[in-house]
A and B are shown apart, each in its own frame.
Chain A
């Protein structure tokens, strides 16, 4: 039985013609199950769009998808399977329906050469939004009608992510993550190229300048570490410190004008401290050398190392083990011409990772400006002793022993190389000026005794002497005060120092303590005040 369904809307009328399925039961006899023809009358079009099942399916699919696109403003990438009907948006209110119409070949066009194929024409229909909505509504009503094509269901489903055309163009979308990745890459490269933090080599915790070890001097195999006067003539003249260095190092300093030398003790102390800190901080590698390396280092007022020279063979060969090459400050040409005052320092790198820095010519006003150049001694400590003497004397604590922080300990004999002994002058120190004569005297006595005390102490108690010292620094008398045995006298050098035939009128009493730990203490008998 032929059935017709008509869905009428103001702008669109959909007419379906078809048959009912005769095998159905009576109740379903009104159902249009088989479609024969579908016609769609649109407003403003005389001819309807018509076609069969395929046409209807294509129309429905295209219209439905387009309506969803209108609602969600998201374009589809997947084209409908059949493109008999397509929809395009012209502007906000106008949409274009493109229908491929197959026309049967007209008899007039048939020729021998032309095959009898059907021509396909495209029909364009322009619709406003309201008209399009009516078309959608007609189709929806058809689907909602249970009596029409019950197996034909409205194909409605949300678009999956893959089907959606991305709203933003790819470059814009990729820009942000790409920027992030680029930033990450740059940061990583920067961090990786940063140098690893330098390991601080384990330093002796009491290792400021005042705590330098003087133990090496006790070793019996060590020669007497008193100094030679190799550069005495230079030391006495404060005007030409550059010459010794210039003569030994073939560098730019040959052309330099003579620069003034710093002789102020405070300054020297300050520069010593700075130098010590600087070199200590930079000396991070474990010493691989067996001898101490001694260098004569020139430094400016602000602690910059402007030159250095090795004083012993070990120093020359192991110079790369020291941080001195790195710390060497190369002044610009203007700095050279300015003739900054400089000072010279003795820097010793010991194989047990101990660093010592002291002024080359000693601290002035301590009565010992004699040069301490002993190039072959690997463990001379007289100048460190001087500096340590000065440091503790400046602190002016009543019972502070001069150099009490230092320890005297025996050095292993195999570590000490055989070095030729340098003749030690027995000349006493030049007298200090009167400003702090007590400290100066104490310092000079300490230096003298320390220089002579080379043996390892094998007594068990402190040995205390009371000595009389004249302003020139010579020891006039010495008597043992502690209840020690006479054996100590033989070991200790005091008696050899006594010059009883001096005719000095003034003499001050001093207290000298020899401790079994190797520490020497010299202090005024009546205190520092």
Chain B
């Protein structure tokens, strides 16, 4: 007798004072209750990639926040924008930084939205891989080119061009590489333990 089981753990949608959606994400033993620089940067970039993927990306982020019961943490659109502006590479950087809870909320929202776009993400990653194998230019695939173009536009509009880290991406080619790497990250975010993996990867080397 054999039983085949294919399981997918559901996200908790019960609204409690402490959103349980964040329970799965472990607390990181940092010295200060603030997300480090790299974490803030990565969170903003992932959200940026999501917005480039889907035209309604920004709205989707907020809606998912509400669905997950993360309103106590991410109150409104402006608040989310301010949290994202804690990325040091932004043009208008928000000083106070990102608390661990807020970071968790952003990671949870990102992974939830990514999961909804799983098919699209897989398709784009596969497309890129095939283009690489056939040595075709990236513009050949319409949707991939679209994603890359939107990502570039968003990035250049929001990031401070005077910073050295941003100057690296002045070249279109480099920015495309960043976009594709983020696409790969999004692929991993769509997994069962995607949110956990993503959250913990933000603190590699910081503990």
Contacts and interface: CB of A to CB of B under 8 A. Distances in A.
A106 interface: no
Interface residues of A, number: 40
Most chain-B Cβ atoms within 10 A of its Cβ — which of A1, A137, A158?
Answer: A158
A92 interface: yes
Interface stretch (B12-20, B66-74, B122-130): B122-130
Nearest to A68: B201
B132 A93 contact: yes
Contact of B197 (A3, A67, A92, A144): A67
B5 A145 contact: yes
A391 interface: no
Contacts of A455: none
Given A93-B128, A129-B125, A6 B6 contact: yes
Contacts of B194: 140
Interface string B25-58: 0101000000000000010000000000000000
Nearest to A159: B204
Interface string B1-12: 111111111000
A19 interface: no
Contacts of B180: 92
B187 interface: yes
Nearest to B196: A156
A67 B188 contact: yes
Contacts of A156: 26, 193, 196-197, 200
Most chain-B Cβ atoms within 10 A of its Cβ — which of A3, A30, A136?
Answer: A136
Contacts of A67: 188, 197
A147 interface: yes
Contact of A133 (B4, B7, B187, B196): B187
Nearest to A91: B132
A4 B206 contact: no
Given A4-B3, A6-B4, A136-B188, A161 B206 contact: yes
B207 interface: yes
A148 B5 CA distance: 10
Contact of B188 (A70, A74, A93): A70
A338 interface: no
Contacts of A8: 4, 6
B192 A92 contact: no
B193 A159 contact: no
A145 B3 contact: no
Contact of B201 (A140, A158, A163): A158
A7 B184 contact: no
Interface in A1-47: 1-8, 30
B191 interface: yes
Most chain-A Cβ atoms within 10 A of its Cβ — which of B185, B197, B198?
Answer: B197
Contacts of B185: 70-71
Contact of B200 (A4, A128, A157, A163): A157
Interface string A234-252: 0000000000000000000
Contacts of B137: none
Interface in B99-155: 122, 125-126, 128-129, 132
A445 B92 CA distance: 88
Nearest to A161: B205
A159 B180 CA distance: 24
Tell me the interface secondary structure of chain A in the complex: mixed
B202 interface: yes
A72 B191 CA distance: 16
A72 B202 contact: yes
B7 A161 contact: no
A68 B4 contact: no
Given A156-B200, A158-B204, A130 B2 contact: no
A5 B181 CA distance: 33
A129 B28 CA distance: 28
Interface string A59-100: 000000001101111100000000000000000110000000
A70 B200 CA distance: 12
Interface in A100-140: 128-130, 133, 136-137, 140
B193 A144 contact: yes
A133 B191 contact: yes
A310 to B, nearest CB: 70
Contacts of A74: 204-205
A70 B184 contact: yes
Contacts of A164: 204-205
B1 A1 contact: yes
A143 interface: yes
Contacts of A160: 205, 207
B39 to A, nearest CB: 10
A148 B7 CA distance: 11
Nearest to B194: A140
B169 interface: no
A228 B46 CA distance: 104
A77 to B, nearest CB: 11
B4 A5 contact: yes
A154 B195 CA distance: 13
Given A141-B7, A145-B5, A147-B5, A158 B207 contact: yes
A137 B207 contact: no
Most chain-B Cβ atoms within 10 A of its Cβ — which of A30, A73, A130, A143?
Answer: A130
B203 A145 contact: no
A8 B5 CA distance: 9
Nearest to A64: B197
A144 B9 contact: yes
Contacts of B125: 129-130
A392 B32 CA distance: 78
B192 A158 contact: no
Contacts of B3: 3-5, 30
A527 to B, nearest CB: 79
Given A158-B28, A159-B204, 8 more contacts: A67-B188, A71-B188, A92-B180, A128-B129, A144-B8, A144-B192, A158-B205, A161-B207
27 contacts: A4-B4, A5-B4, A5-B5, A6-B4, A6-B5, A67-B197, A68-B201, A68-B204, A70-B184, A70-B188, A71-B185, A72-B201, A72-B205, A92-B180, A93-B128, A129-B125, A133-B188, A136-B191, A140-B197, A141-B7, A144-B193, A148-B5, A156-B193, A158-B203, A158-B206, A159-B207, A163-B205
Nearest 5 CB-CB pairings of A with B? A71-B201, A158-B203, A164-B205, A72-B201, A4-B2
Interface of B: 1-9, 26, 28, 42, 122, 125-126, 128-129, 132, 180-181, 184-185, 187-188, 191-194, 196-198, 200-207
Interface of A: 1-8, 30, 67-68, 70-74, 92-93, 128-130, 133, 136-137, 140-141, 143-145, 147-148, 154, 156-161, 163-164
